[in-house]
Structure 1
Amino acid sequence: MKNKLKDFLLLFTGSVLVALGTYFFLAPNRIAAGGISGIAIIINSLIPKLPIGGLMMCMEIILFLLGILVIGPFFGGKTIFCSFSISGVILILEEVFPNIKPISDDVLIQLIFGVLICGLGMGIVFNQNASTGGTDIIAKIINKYFNISIGNSLLAADIIITIAATSIFGINIGLYSILGVIINCTLIDKVIKTLNTYKQVAIISSQGEEIKRYIMDILERSATIYYAKGAYNNNESEVITTILTRKQFIQLKEYIGSIDDRAFITINEVNEVVGEGFTFS
């Protein structure tokens, strides 16, 4: 129950970030940086009476069904939660801050901030095996069946929208939209990689039993033991290996330092871990 609550809090946080970046930075400048939000911005510019949030909510229904059919109901359920969270937050923002205007004359700065905020939010959502709806669902399908990164899959799905933005808003806004899509897709891959980076640790210590108990009892991780012989004196040593999050590694490092300042530790970064104790996605 605690893990599920954490997952949905992360999904909601990511969704709110996407809504804020879209409404305050991209939409006022008519920057259609891909996705359903980009399509909604284009339609809203042509028919201002149609609200961006409402347009997004309507267009997402068809793609929801596609995601549920192709990827599965669990993915579909989380995507529905994220998509309606984004649309709902934008609808609320439209009521609280109606007729929002660009916050500065520098479109590039607003593009960068908007895309950074949206890309961070989308990366968090994708890392929870969900999507923000719209073309993100298409990107997830491409990622599943063609083993292309989420960022590159999203780039392929969004390029048509940026071309449409160019034809409607002009070459300058179109080029900003293309730049936004490229930054966004690159950032999403970077966020996912960062969130899935773990520390693979190998430890040789005279306090091996205490360290093993700390890993299992306090950090609640397992460990693998193997034996190695030193080349200098041919002594056989016990090597403890484990994989930890960044926070857990810091805790372990501090603990080892407090009980054995002569311990030998090697650390490698691991970009993805699946299996017992870790999630499959």
Structure 2
Amino acid sequence: MSAFAERKEMIMTKKTAYEFAYITFAMFIISCSIYFFLIPSGIVVGSISGLSMVLNQVINLPISLITFILNIGLLVIGFIFIGKEFGAKTVYTSILLPVFLAIFEKICPLSESLTHNSVYDLVSYTLIIAFGQAMLFNVNASSGGLDIVGKIISKYTHLEIGKALTVCGMITAATSIFVYDISTMIVSLIGTYANGQAVDYFVGGFNKRKRICILSEHYEEIMKYIMEDMNRGVTIYSAVGGFDKTPRIEVVTIMTTSEYKKLLNYLHQSDYKAFVTVSTVNEVIGTWNINKNSRKSKQKEVSVQ
């Protein structure tokens, strides 16, 4: 095995370990939202659990068994339509959720709501679980249940994941009218809609990048800094000043927010006259997403050869 292959394998191992640690933390957040806010509130927000409660009145099977059957079926569908990676991660999260809930029941049994207000419970649950769901979607995973259906709808219709979850949840929440009263159904619909909006907000925060356009007489030094020091790619365009018709070179690059701040500090020190425009990019697809460490290793391998 070549040195490059060994480095690549080591990087992939570290990446996998990081992702599963990240997923574990996300599931801890989701479990907290369910145990400390949703369960005490008594509100049924559109979910597989809510659908199981409705089906329980029709087919007379235990809710736990119905939930298990639905989750197994959705996991199989997830493997088929989204891929093995998504399915494997979701199996892991499906195991973590009951484990965390069981731990909470042992170390922190609840007899009443922490907030003593069902509205506060609903708001807290919606915001916290949406953040946890967004973390999972950021690494191509989900907490199972309707998340899988939402992910499939989002993949094949290009609908934002939060809106896809809202569609699934609304349908499920609406069925609660057959088991509960109208007021419970209305609260469930509102909570489901709010959850979808919150997921989109948090997912957008994870995926947003900065598109930086730079006009400078020292564009070569700036390009070198971006490519060699920051290990990011650049695209150059020929531009002409509208007032003086002077030909110029425009340097365009895509970066994370933290990288953008680093580049801005460099520009302030190296060329304070540089003309810089910045816009927000909601999503970047393609080779930009290649791990920077992998890119560095590949560059080193090429230089050795």
**One-letter code of the match for 2:32?**
L
Q: What's 1:199 paired with? A: 210
Mapping 1:135-154, distance limit 5 Å: 135-154=146-165
Structure 1 residue 40: Cα displacement: 6.6
Q: What's 2:170 paired with? A: 159
CA distance in 2, matches of 1:237, 1:276: 27
**One-letter code of the match for 1:73?**
K
Q: 1:232 and 2:214 equivalent?
A: no
Mapping 1:28-107, distance limit 5 Å: 28-39=40-51, 59-107=70-118
Please tell me whether the aligned partners of residues 238 and 247 of structure 2 are also in contact (alpha carbons under 8 angstroms).
yes
Q: 1:182 and 2:193 equivalent?
A: yes
> Aligned with 1:124: secondary structure?
helix
CA distance in 2, matches of 1:21, 1:166: 24
CA distance in 1, matches of 2:251, 2:143: 41
CA distance in 1, matches of 2:19, 2:53: 29
Structure 1 residue 257: Cα displacement: 0.4
Structure 1 stretch displaced more, 255-264 or 26-35? 26-35
Please tell me whether the aligned partners of residues 54 and 178 of structure 2 are also in contact (alpha carbons under 8 angstroms).
no
Q: Which runs of 5+ in 1 are unaligned?
A: 45-49
Q: 1:15 and 2:23 equivalent?
A: no
Could you say if the C-alpha distance between residues 24 and 56 of structure 1 is closer, same or farther in structure 2, counting changes exceeding 3 Å?
A: farther
Please tell me whether the aligned partners of residues 119 and 187 of structure 1 are also in contact (alpha carbons under 8 angstroms).
yes
Please tell me whether the aligned partners of residues 139 and 150 of structure 1 are also in contact (alpha carbons under 8 angstroms).
yes
Please tell me whether the aligned partners of residues 29 and 128 of structure 2 are also in contact (alpha carbons under 8 angstroms).
yes
Structure 1 residue 215: Cα displacement: 0.9
Can you list the C-alpha shifts for 1:147-184, whole angstroms capped at 9, x where unaligned? 32222221222234323444434333332221110100
> Aligned with 1:242: secondary structure?
strand
CA distance in 2, matches of 1:87, 1:40: 16
Structure 1 stretch displaced more, 165-174 or 154-163? 165-174
Can you list the C-alpha shifts for 1:20-42, whole angstroms capped at 9, x where unaligned? 11110011111221223445777
User: What is the TM-score when the length of structure 2 is the normalising length?
Assistant: 0.81
Please tell me whether the aligned partners of residues 31 and 177 of structure 1 are also in contact (alpha carbons under 8 angstroms).
yes
CA distance in 2, matches of 1:57, 1:203: 55
Identity of matched residues, %: 31
Structure 1 stretch displaced more, 3-12 or 121-130? 3-12
Structure 1 residue 227: Cα displacement: 2.1
Please tell me whether the aligned partners of residues 30 and 41 of structure 1 are also in contact (alpha carbons under 8 angstroms).
no
CA distance in 1, matches of 2:54, 2:23: 26
Please tell me whether the aligned partners of residues 22 and 37 of structure 1 are also in contact (alpha carbons under 8 angstroms).
no
> Aligned with 1:133: secondary structure?
coil
Q: What's 1:47 paired with? A: none
Can you list the C-alpha shifts for 1:206-230, whole angstroms capped at 9, x where unaligned? 3323211221122211101122122
CA distance in 1, matches of 2:16, 2:38: 32
Say which of 260, 263, 270 aligns to 1:252: 263
Give the aligned length.
273
Q: 1:275 and 2:286 equivalent?
A: yes
Say what the alpha-carbon RMSD is for the aligned residues. 2.5
**One-letter code of the match for 2:145?**
G
User: What is the TM-score when the length of structure 1 is the normalising length?
Assistant: 0.87
> Aligned with 1:184: secondary structure?
helix
Structure 1 residue 135: Cα displacement: 1.3
**One-letter code of the match for 2:284?**
V
> Aligned with 1:98: secondary structure?
coil
> Aligned with 1:277: secondary structure?
helix
Q: What's 1:111 paired with? A: 122
CA distance in 2, matches of 1:37, 1:207: 60
Q: Which runs of 5+ in 2 are unaligned?
A: 1-11, 57-61, 291-305
